[in-house]
Amino acid sequence: MTLNKRLQRTFSKLTSARATRCSAIFAFVLFGAAYAKDAEQIASTDQLQAKITYCENCHGVSGQGFRGYYPIPRLAGQQPEYLKNQLQAFIEHRRTNNIMFNVAHVLSPSVLDALATSFQNLNPKPLASSAPKDLIATGKKIYEEGVPSSDIPPCASCHGAEAKGEGQFPRLAGQLSDYIFNKLTNWANERGRIPDKPDTSAIMEPIAHGLSKEQIKAVAAYLNNLD
């Protein structure tokens, strides 16, 4: 065999070996990238589940709401856009709640989005209402027809015929009656804290002020009993 052929053969072997090593390295890099992506996904899923569990400590199993020292709202089935808007309102102190100030400001935008979607997909049965059942019929009438004599529009015109909300308008079906009563009778003290940054909740201020406490109780009783 000539020297030239030996050199060509040796070069061929070296090239093949390098190709094999490069393929192995490339495969290792791909595997590492895939593993890192899986690990990141697992960490993200675990982080989200931890946040959901944390929320459920106050808002009840499956976000159904909780009655303790004071009523804590149902999050299950809530419109994601509304939920994100309200969490942002807590972050910006446009809405006051000392507990939610601390909870909301640590949520990243991606976790906030994921939480809102997760709670929307939950649909536990509403907690039993603490309001008298004989108020339900009156509440239904106000919800569907409003109070024309006080220029109060039908609640259904924004929150939907089934009170499940849409977009920035929240779901009210299944919400705790005492929570609804507390919010509507205390509206101006909690929301719209920065007038220069109004949101859709500003629509509710004249309505909340225009309803009597008895009317609010009736509407709250009706809504609490909706699935």
Residue 141 within any structural domain of the chain:
yes
Q: Is the confidence at residue 31, as pLDDT, over 60? A: no
Residue 96 within any structural domain of the chain:
yes
- What confidence tens digit (pLDDT) does each residue in 177-223 have? 999 999 999 998 888 777 787 777 888 999 999 999 999 999 999 99
Q: Is the confidence at residue 34, as pLDDT, over 80? A: no
Residue 54 within any structural domain of the chain:
no
pLDDT (0 to 100) of residue 2 = 52
Q: Is the confidence at residue 42, as pLDDT, over 70? A: no
What's the chain's average pLDDT?
84
pLDDT (0 to 100) of residue 197 = 78
- What confidence tens digit (pLDDT) does each residue in 67-113 have? 988 999 999 999 999 999 999 999 988 898 889 999 998 888 888 99
pLDDT (0 to 100) of residue 1 = 54
- What confidence tens digit (pLDDT) does each residue in 173-185 have? 999 999 999 999 9
Q: Is the confidence at residue 29, as pLDDT, over 80? A: no
State the residue range of the domain holding 116.
60-224
Residue 10 within any structural domain of the chain:
no
pLDDT (0 to 100) of residue 126 = 95
More confident residue, 118 or 33: 118
Residue 53 within any structural domain of the chain:
no
SS (H, E, C) the chain: CCHHHHHHHHHHHHHHHHHHHHHHHHHHHHHHHHHHHHHHHHHHHHHHHHHHHHHHHHHCHHHCCEECCCEECCCCCCCHHHHHHHHHHHHCCCCCCHHHHHHHCCCCHHHHHHHHHHHHCCCCCCCCCCCCHHHHHHHHHHHHHCEHHHCECCCHHHHCCCCCCECCECCCCCCCHHHHHHHHHCHHHHCCCCCCCCCHHHHHHHHHHHCCHHHHHHHHHHHHCCC
Q: Is the confidence at residue 43, as pLDDT, over 80? A: no
Residue 43 within any structural domain of the chain:
no
Q: What is the number of structural domains in the chain? A: 1
The CATH number that applies at residue 85 is: 1.10.760.10
